[in-house]
Amino acid sequence: MKQLKENSNKFFIRLLLMIVAFVAVDQAAGMFLYYFFTHQVSGEYAVANHVVYNLNEDVLVLGSSRASHHYNSSIIKDGLHLSCFNGGRDGEGLLYSTAIFELALQHHVPKVVVLDVTSDVLSEKEDEKNRLSILLPYLKQSYVIGNMIEKKDRLELIKSHLQTYRYNGQVVSIFQHYFLSSGNTVMGFNPLDNKMDVSRVSTHTSLKPYSDSISADNVNALNLFINECKRQKIQLFVFVSPRYNDDTQQNSYLKLKSICNSNKVIFHDFTNDVYFKNPEYYSDRAHLNGRGADLYTDTIVAFMKKRLSPAANVQYFSKNQEPLREN
């Protein structure tokens, strides 16, 4: 019995020591990884870090991979005479864009924001919430990030008290992009260089028309995004950039148009723009290639020029001014 008690005491002392060591190593590793994380020179997080910590451009482009691959920042800069940064990110949706927009606003207010959306931007998509874990490294920057991450799982915030968990699945990528400058991103714009194989692509979609359900979280995020623009007097353009197949028959699309309309936000859909139905401009049916992106950016620059408010940050939301609408 005495032996048993001694063993138990020894066990609990060791367990306690291990917990202390665990907390210490976790904190140290968290700081170590945070340094490398914030100093990446390439990759998707380098783009996001620029938006979150260093944004100083006049025009900010946000959205998914279609934003990242479709908006040539140099063309926007030359065309509008406003500096531009493309903060689009592969696989991410409106929740992510809203979150990093909030973080950017903490230190810089751009004059113009281009939000690229897809027709299903307001549809309920479970995987969109699952991907919000990529925001964990920014958790201490703003309470908004915590609110967003909670949408994935209410326990996610508890887990995020572990510093190392915040960099789950990122370690190799962080070191790769810290030590190696790879990719061809220019001011956040990441052109695709391949050409779509037309023989393997159909313009048909398997989408069941108007079968999607609307995500309340995404609607709230869009409203938050628009209200921040109003509050900070940022001119907002919401674009659906071209795609080879038409996927607009969705409730989300109707809701998106309705929200933009009621908030007097400039909204334009290029999905069915005949000019962009040329397969030569595509990398796949959802993404333009570099050539298509340059032509598309030229088009939106011309479009924006006509609608840019004189100070590019003030009058657009004035009560008397009716925004121009093209579709």
Interface residue list for other proteins (CB under 8 A) = 4, 7-8, 10-11, 14, 17-18, 21-22, 25-26, 29, 130, 133, 155, 158-159, 162, 164-165, 167-169, 171-173, 176
Burial class (CB in 10 A: 0-12, 13-18, 19+), 283: buried
CB nearer other proteins, residue 67 or residue 174: 174
Report the DSSP pairing between strands 266-269 and 287-288: unpaired
Q: Extract the tokens encoding 13.
A: 């002392």
CB nearer other proteins, residue 8 or residue 227: 8
- CB of residue 130 vs other proteins: minimum separation in angstroms? 5
**Separation in Å, CA 28 to CA 24, 31, 37, 123, 164:** 6, 5, 14, 40, 9
Distance separating alpha carbons of residues 258 and 265, to the nearest angstrom: 10
- CB of residue 93 vs other proteins: minimum separation in angstroms? 16
Distance separating alpha carbons of residues 317 and 233, to the nearest angstrom: 7
- CB of residue 290 vs other proteins: minimum separation in angstroms? 22
CB nearer other proteins, residue 22 or residue 210: 22
Distance separating alpha carbons of residues 220 and 234, to the nearest angstrom: 19
CB nearer other proteins, residue 7 or residue 106: 7
CB nearer other proteins, residue 148 or residue 260: 148
- CB of residue 269 vs other proteins: minimum separation in angstroms? 29
- CB of residue 15 vs other proteins: minimum separation in angstroms? 9
CB nearer other proteins, residue 14 or residue 231: 14
Distance separating alpha carbons of residues 21 and 18, to the nearest angstrom: 5
Handedness of CA 22, 24, 30, 35 (dihedral sign): negative
Q: Extract the tokens encoding 114.
A: 């281009």
- CB of residue 103 vs other proteins: minimum separation in angstroms? 23
CA atoms within 13 A on the CB side of 135: 35
